[in-house]
Amino acid sequence: MHLTPEQALRYYQGMAKTVIVTAETGQRLSFPAENIRQFVDSRGVNGLFSIEFDDNNKLIGITRLTH
């Protein structure tokens, strides 16, 4: 995931409510933006992430694998 500082700020402040990303498999995933706040720094949000969903497609968690 790569978000510029300006893009990340919109998510951090709650101005954008949903994050939509494309997985390495090509699958598009969406989840509430509040879940990336912990990964925002002065460079925005950068890195490879593992995103886990349950059987009902509810987000379980996000883990940063690389920066």
Residue 12: exposure state from Cβ atoms within 10 A (0-12, 13-18, ≥19): buried
Q: What is the pTM of this model?
A: 0.79
Q: What is the pLDDT of residues 10-44, one digit of tens each?
A: 988 889 899 999 999 999 999 999 999 999 999 99
